[in-house]
Amino acid sequence: MYIKRYTIAALIWIGLVGWYVYAYVAQESIGLDLFGVPMPSLSIALWVTIPIFILYLASVVHMTFYSMIGNFRLRKYEKDYEKLINAIVDAYLGKKERSYSFKTDRYRLLGTLIEHSVIYPSGHLLEKINNEKIDAVLKIIEDIKNGEVVDLKSYSLPSDNELVIQNERNRYKKGQISAETILSNCTKYDDRLCKEVYIDYVKTAPFNAIKKYKGFVTKEALHVTLARINADENTLGISNEDLIELFKKLELNKKDYIEISSILSKGGMIPEQRMRLFEMLSDEDEEAMDAYLYTLYDLEMIEPANAILDNSQPNEYQKFKAYRALKECGKNFSINMFV
């Protein structure tokens, strides 16, 4: 309400009414009793304007009261709006812990929906928003997607946050942080990033360093390591015992063991070590027996392989028995066709 304008208009109106009564109705003065209390003698024009002035005061008090109530309500909406903006920012940042208390029903509905939603900005949204907080977050997300390194400290994001992981990945790719630094301080980084970095690390690292961080070994990192055994470049010399210790960090199945043997066959591991490796593995893990048979047939160690098949149950190792039968008939097929 424009109380200042209302006051000026009201005073003008009161003055006009008083002037009209004094000029055209009566100029006498009278005294009144108000609830038995004698009042001083005043002009009739003044007695007419006094109730109007009292009504004006009452109306101003009334308007002021409801204006204050309106302002309090407006402040609730403004605060809820800020909370909603923060909720959107947190959603864009991928924060898992999001909880906001809204005072107004409309914003409470929107806030609840956002709190339980995953939101990803897409397209050229940055060009359409005019909010400082959201614009800043959208710019950060865009920069991280483009491979840039940004400062995320002010947002207090955990190490397993996707933006944090990608930001640290960008730092690593730009050479701002080394693989050794990440692996030696992996409590500060997400486990997924450490495993990714470990794959690069094993391409050139000595085996004692590979073994030091073996907790981050993956099948891909293992394959890279195996390919380096007796290779022409970045060669590694690894004992069977050390390899088995590395294998135990992974849950390997029959297919995995066969793939390992295939990698070693293409690499530089000497046949005797390879055969001994899978013999040791088959003694410790039944899942490695197929890989042991595969290795024996791949190395043309026919007699030891046949001896294992002869001592097996009729329903075991059917593919290898089929391979043996074809070989005995003079048919030469690659053992890789039977695994």
Top pLDDT among 326 and 280 is at: 280
Percent of the chain with pLDDT over 90: 42
The CA–CA distances, whole Å, from 136 to 141, 150, 155, 160 equal 9, 11, 11, 21
Q: What is the pLDDT of residue 64?
A: 77
Q: What is the mean pLDDT of residues 19-43?
A: 75
Residue 143 lies in a domain: no
Last residue of a domain, one of 80, 113, 146: 113
The answer to whether position 186 is within a domain reads no
**Mean pLDDT computed over every residue of the chain:** 87
Residue recorded with tokens 């993956």? 218
How far apart are the two ends of the chain, measured CA to CA in Å? Answer: 85
Q: Is the pLDDT of residue 181 over 70?
A: yes
Q: Can you state the percent helix, strand and coil of the chain, rounding each to 5?
A: 65, 5, 30
22: DSSP letter: I
What is the tens place of the pLDDT at every residue in 252-310? 999 999 999 999 988 778 999 999 999 999 999 999 999 999 999 999 899 999 999 98
Gap between the Cα atoms of 235 and 227, Å rounded: 9
CB 190 within 8 A of CB 169: no
For residues 94 and 46, the answer to whether their CB atoms sit within 8 Å is no
- pLDDT of 125 above 90: no
Q: Is pLDDT above 80 for 71?
A: no
pLDDT higher than threshold 80 for residue 27: no
Q: Is residue 163 part of a domain?
A: no
Pick from 204, 151, 215, 162: nearest CA to 179: 204
Residue 134 covered by a domain: no
Q: How confident is the model at residue 332 (pLDDT cuts 50, 70, 90)?
A: confident
Q: Which helix (H) or strand (E) holds 166?
A: helix 162-173
236: in domain: no
Last residue of a domain, one of 113, 142, 173: 113
Model pLDDT, residue 231: 84
pTM higher than 0.75? no
Phi, psi (degrees; rounded to nearest 5) at 43: -65, 145
Number of domains, the chain = 2
Return the pLDDT at 227.
92
What backbone phi and psi angles, to 5 degrees, belong to 46?
-70, -40
| Within-domain flag for 72 | yes
Q: Which residues pair with 267 in a beta bridge?
A: none
Q: Which two tokens stand for residue 16?
A: 């006009």
Domain that holds residue 283: 251-339
Q: Tell me which of 113-122, 173-182, 266-275 is least confident.
A: 113-122
Q: How many CB atoms lie within 10 A of CB 41?
A: 11
Q: Does residue 1 have a pLDDT over 60?
A: no
User: Is the residue at 52 inside a domain?
Assistant: yes
Is residue 208, in this structure, part of any structural domain at all?
no
Residues with Cβ < 8 Å from 214, sequence gap 6 or more? 245, 246, 249
CA angle, 297 then 302 then 305, to 5°: 75
User: Given its phi and psi angles, is residue 43 left (phi above 0), alpha (psi -120 to 50 degrees) or beta?
Assistant: beta
pLDDT of residue 60: 83
Quote the pLDDT of residue 6: 84
At position 293, the amino acid (one-letter code) is L
pLDDT category of residue 127 using cuts at 50, 70 and 90: low
| Tens-place pLDDT, residues 203-253 | 999 999 999 999 999 999 999 999 999 888 888 889 999 999 999 999 999
Residue of 248, 241, 191 lying closest to 222 (CA atoms): 248
Please give the Cα distance from 62 to 6 (Å, whole number).
13
Q: Where does a domain end: 113, 132, 167?
A: 113
- Which segments of 236-285 are extended strands (E)? none
